[in-house]
Amino acid sequence: MDIVFIANLVVAGIVEGSLIALAALAMTLVFGVARFPNAATGDFMAFGAYAALMAYATAGLPIWLAAAIAIAATALLALVSYRFVFSKLLNRSPVANLLASIGVALIIRSALSWYFGSAQRTFSFPLVRSMNLGGIRIHPTDLAVVGVALAAMLVVFTLLYVTPLGRRMRAVADNPLLARASGIRSAYVMVALWLIAGGVSALAGVLLGVKAIVTPEMGFDVLLHIFTATVLGGIGNPLGAVVGGLVIGIAQELASPIVGASYKLAVGFVVLVALLLVRPQGLFGGAEVTR
């Protein structure tokens, strides 16, 4: 393997990894605050992708506006699913919530394939060749995907660590009872959480749809990667989810010439198992999330 080939694989890994990272961020936020793995994350993504596709291809809006509409629509969908499903299960076990989220996922996926059919759709951007930087090939779409994903993560981190809302969310994530005792209204935090989780998922879905194709199963198909990245980073830790996504993406690409492309997914799990043996709480997980 020459160095250019390896560099190209790393680039491919970073692009895929940042997509996974963004979706994992949405999942880990829900886990941190609402304390269950949200299996509907992938289907929020698919919903967002279809919403953007409708706005872009059918209504003819520019892509940035279509993405904004998709984010708003999916945030609303996430809020609706909280209002009618997850708010009823607030004090139930994570397993009850997980099962409910699988139900929500199935409803969204079925509704999408009922309304749009199962045929693939694409954002038909004109195809262009990649830029060739000394053998390392970089495509404008990839730059856009990584750029937008990074920007979105930055926004979420700012929201979490700079604003009062973020402080409240982190307080509820750390200790819901203590947060309530300090006068933080958890209902308000939950609404904010689901809006953010829906919006971030939608953006990840739009990016995935632009880069790949749009199908009702598109989000479900990457759900396993998202789970892996979330666990790898330390469940409930936003920074961990992002790093986890990138690690999985790059490790899979680098390993595939050696072990064969058909074992890509397995490589992700090998990385996960190896890390969990050394650090059971994940890359950035604190002790409190492992209890």
Partner 1 sequence: MVHLSRRRFAASIASLAASTAFLPRFAGAQAPEFRIGALCPITGAGAQYGAGMQRAIQFAANQVNAAGGAAGRQLRVFTEDDQTQPEAGVLAAKKLIEVNQVQAVVGTWASGVTLAVIPMAVRANVLAMNVSGAPDISALHNDGMSWRFHPTNAEFGKAFAAVCAKQGYKRPALMGFNNAFGLGLTGGFQAAWEKGGGTIAGRVIYEPRRPSYRGEVQEILRAKPDVIVMGSYLADTTLIMREAFQEGYEGRWIMPGWSANDQLVAALGPQATEGVISMDTIPNEGSGAFKSFDDEYKRAMNVSGASNVFAAMSYDMVISLALALEAAGPSASPREIGQKMRLVANPDGTKVYGFAEGKDALKRGKINYEGASGALDFDEFGDVKGNFLMSVIEKGRLVRKDVVAG
Q: Which residues bind partner 1 (CB under 8 A)?
A: 5, 8-9, 12-13, 15-16, 19-20, 113, 118-120, 122, 124, 126-130, 132, 137, 139, 141, 208, 211-213, 215, 217, 221-222, 225, 252-253, 256-257, 260-262, 264-265
Cα separation of 31 and 44, whole Å?
A: 15
The nearer residue to partner 1, 27 or 193, going by C-beta atoms, is 27
Nearer to partner 1, 171 or 248 (CB): 248
Report how far residue 129's alpha carbon sits from residue 153's, in angstroms, rounded to the nearest whole number: 28
Distance of alpha carbon 105 from alpha carbon 93, whole angstroms: 19
Please, what is the minimum distance in Å from the beta carbon of residue 154 to partner 1?
22
Give min distance, CB of 216 to partner 1, in A. 9
- Rounded to a whole number of angstroms, the minimum distance from the CB of residue 29 to partner 1 is 21
Between 16 and 43, CB nearer to partner 1: 16
110 CB-near residues (< 8 Å, 6+ apart): 216
Smallest distance, Å, CB 122 to partner 1? 4
Smallest distance, Å, CB 146 to partner 1?
Answer: 13
Nearer to partner 1, 85 or 213 (CB): 213
Q: Are the C-beta atoms of 14 and 146 separated by less than 8 Å? A: yes
List all residues 6 or more positions away from 165 whose beta carbon is below 8 Å from its beta carbon: 159, 189, 192
3-state secondary structure 155-199: HHHHHHHCCHHHHHHHHHHHCHHHHHHCCCCHHHHHHHHHHHHHH
CB 44 within 8 A of CB 201: yes
CB of 234 to partner 1, least distance (A): 23
Q: Do residues 263 and 278 lie in contact, with contact meaning Cβ atoms separated by under 8 Å?
A: no
Pick 1 or 287: Cβ nearer partner 1: 1
- As given in the structure block, the two tokens for residue 132 are 């060739």
The residue (of 69 and 208) whose beta carbon lies closer to partner 1 is: 208
